[in-house]
Amino acid sequence: MAFEVEVPVRHRTMWLAFTDPEKMARAVPGLTVDAVHTVPPADGPEGVAGDVVAGRLKLRIGAGGAGATITYRGTACIAGAEAHKGTLDIAVDAAQARGDGALAGYLRVTLGPSGDAGERTVISVVPELELSGRALEFGRADWHEAVETLGAAWIETLAAEYRAAEEAEVADGADEPSEAGQVDEAEEAAEAEEASVPAVVESLSNKSGESESEKITNPPIVPAVSPALDESLSDDPLAAVWSGRYEKNRWLPLITALTLFLLIKRRRRHRADKAGADSSFRME
pLDDT, residue 83, reads: 92
**In contact, 47 and 53? CB cutoff 8 Å:** no
pTM for this model (two decimals): 0.59
**In contact, 201 and 193? CB cutoff 8 Å:** no
pLDDT, residue 202, reads: 59
**In contact, 21 and 36? CB cutoff 8 Å:** yes
Banded model confidence at residue 281, pLDDT cuts 50, 70, 90:
very low
What is the rounded CA–CA span in Å between residue 11 and residue 282?
A: 148
pLDDT, residue 150, reads: 94
Burial degree of 56 (CB within 10 A; 0-12, 13-18, 19+)? middle
Tens-place pLDDT, residues 75-121: 999 999 999 999 999 999 999 999 889 999 999 999 999 988 889 99
User: Does pLDDT of 284 surpass 50?
Assistant: no
pLDDT, residue 253, reads: 67
**In contact, 94 and 72? CB cutoff 8 Å:** yes
Mean per-residue pLDDT, 38-50? 89
- Distances in Å between the alpha carbon of 144 and those of 16, 68, 141, 267? 27, 15, 5, 154
